Amino acid sequence: MKKASVIGDSISTYEGYNPEGYLVHYTAREIERNSLTSVGDTWWMRLIDALGAELLVNGSYSGSLVTGDAFPAAASFERIDVLKGSDSSPPDIILVYIGVNDFLSCIPVGIFTAAYAKMLSGLKKKYPDARIICATLAKAYCDGVARWLFPEQKGGVSLKDYNESIRKVCMEADVTTADIAASGLIYETLDGIHPTKNGHKKLADAWLESLKDSTHGS
């Protein structure tokens, strides 16, 4: 069976399923609050199951950005290296869903683009035989808060430009893009960022639908 690793931020954390010392958003309290009944309800485990694979390492770290010179930046050596198993077996599939914190931190698009390219370069160098799949960034809504809208821009930085950057960098690196943003997905949350059980399902469904149409990448 193929083995899959994940690199992401708080959206992809789950208590007991991240490396020791990594910050986790989905603690037992948040798991219950968001109506998740098991790790099988997360977008990434749903996707891994659908791809006929098994989890190797979920290297997601709550609050992390792609950008930055050191850990826990996703482009750092430590974040990339942890995706191998405890027996140093490389992943066959790497799922990448990260960048929301860069956007919300108003990181300029050029800096984000360079960091994303560095991350992909590091992943390809460390795991040359892995299939790398990167998702664009989806918008969210707050359940029960009708007036709340996910920002299209933050501090002069455009979410549209961020997603275009991800598409471009992935094409240049020859890795697969799961363009979930292009589907128009707006997933359910309680806080504007972190998916509920229903939100996780919508994310997983969007990944799978995008991959049906994706012919690019390794």
% of the chain surpassing 70 pLDDT: 97
83 vs 196: CA distance, rounded Å: 25
Domain membership of residue 120 (yes or no) is: yes
Question: Which structural domain, as residue segments, surrounds residue 37?
Answer: 2-213
For 50-76, what is each residue's pLDDT tens digit?
999 999 999 999 999 999 989 999 999
Domain membership of residue 55 (yes or no) is: yes
With CA atoms as reference, report the closest residue to 188 among 170, 210, 206, 171: 206
Look at the chain and report how many structural domains it folds into: 1
* 209, containing H or E segment: helix 197-213
Domain membership of residue 218 (yes or no) is: no
Domain membership of residue 84 (yes or no) is: yes
193 vs 213: CA distance, rounded Å: 26
- Let me know: does 89 contact 56? Beta carbons within 8 Å: yes
CATH of the domain at 85: 3.40.50.1110
With CA atoms as reference, report the closest residue to 97 among 208, 203, 210, 213: 203
Residue 118 pLDDT exceeds 90: yes
What DSSP assignment string belongs to 80-130? HHTTS-TT-PPPSEEEEE--HHHHHTT--HHHHHHHHHHHHHHHHHH-TTS
| Model pTM above 0.85 | yes
Domain membership of residue 110 (yes or no) is: yes
With CA atoms as reference, report the closest residue to 58 among 42, 75, 37, 73: 42
For 130-186, what is each residue's pLDDT tens digit?
999 999 999 999 988 877 889 999 999 999 999 999 999 999 999 999 999 999 999
